[in-house]
Structure 1
Amino acid sequence: MFKNFQDSILRGNDNGDKFVFKKKKSSGNSLHAEGGNDIVKSDHGQNTKLGSGDDTYVITGGLNHMISTGEGSDKVKLKSTDDTSFVISDFEPFKDRIKTSKSIYNTDLEVSVVQQSSTSLLAGASLEIKNKDELIGNIFFDKTEGSSFYDFMDEDRLAKIAFLNPAQFDLENGYFISAPREEIGTALLSF
């Protein structure tokens, strides 16, 4: 178990490592959890790369939690929203999860889709999480080839979704007969 380091570089192994940071001076670490089903629990901001495995990062407070979920089905547990901020850099919406503790009123939380550029394409979107109108989290999707989000954005898959739901995408049924596949995918990505 790694406990109460500050401004250190910590590297786990391929086993299930546990990192716990509770003391005031336990901040600013760079964690490389590596493989295994790792657990990180922190009251203070850490720069964490969870690596492979089904990992859990528990935010119990603190600012500037920088989290890279890595491979596997990972969970980020939010136990506090007071003086809390976090960024998840490679979230896979079909595999990774964000959970809140029972003490957090989910009605105080708001999740919004935000475009990061001037485009209206879904592929450029991220999520913002606000608590009582105060920004506490930013979530960026893993868009690398082979990720679940990348696979979802496949033009064939999007064309099939549009074909089954043409009214939702302001498309006419005849459009699919003559439109190139790339054009259908572009239409879907910009809805």
Structure 2
Amino acid sequence: MRRKKIVRDTKETKIVLALEIDGTGAYEINTGCGFLNHMLELFTRHGRFDIAVDCNGDTEVDYHHTVEDIGIAMGSAFKESLGDKRGIYRYGSMLLPMDEALILCAVDISGRSCVNFDVQIPAQKVGDFDTELVKEFIEAFAREMGLTIHVKMLAGENTHHIIEAVFKGMGRALRAACAIEDEYADEIPSTKGVL
């Protein structure tokens, strides 16, 4: 089974995160931020991963450290769960509609971090969540996992819908990229022989 438990304990956050890549979409998520909980639940459900997150962060300051550190922990869990990445499809993409919003998300589990985030988020906040933290989460996650990710907004007006489509699209694209290609289950999907 491809699974990992990560404990991250800093002066800013205390995080315990458990991931099972080959899951059912089950989740237990407590980040201290309702909107982030909701987005991670969507990511988990649509990715069909099993994820448990418990975070005690310095939310009296703001959600920045919580969001970034959960991204780091989650990226680390994915990287370690995938091991040498033998047999994975490696690439995945999703064109995801959420009412008037339309988001393209494409990923490459390349071992290299690259983020192209081309999303215009209309509002600065959803509830008490700073929407600029969406990009912070993706950058921390991609950096730690060694993931190339392109997120492009093709349409959208409602901030909640746009961000929801981003997280659902990421889940679906990663689900495809992490899947094992049965015919090539013993091969590293790279001409280099390593990812």
**TM-score bracket for the superposition, by shorter chain length:** under 0.3
TM-score (norm 2): 0.25
Q: State which structure, 1 or 2, has the greater radius of gyration over its C-alpha atoms.
A: 1
Query: If each structure's helix is expressed as a fraction of its own residues, which one has the higher value?
Result: 2
TM-score (norm 1): 0.26
The answer to which structure, 1 or 2, has the higher relative contact order (CA under 8 A, 6+ apart) is 2
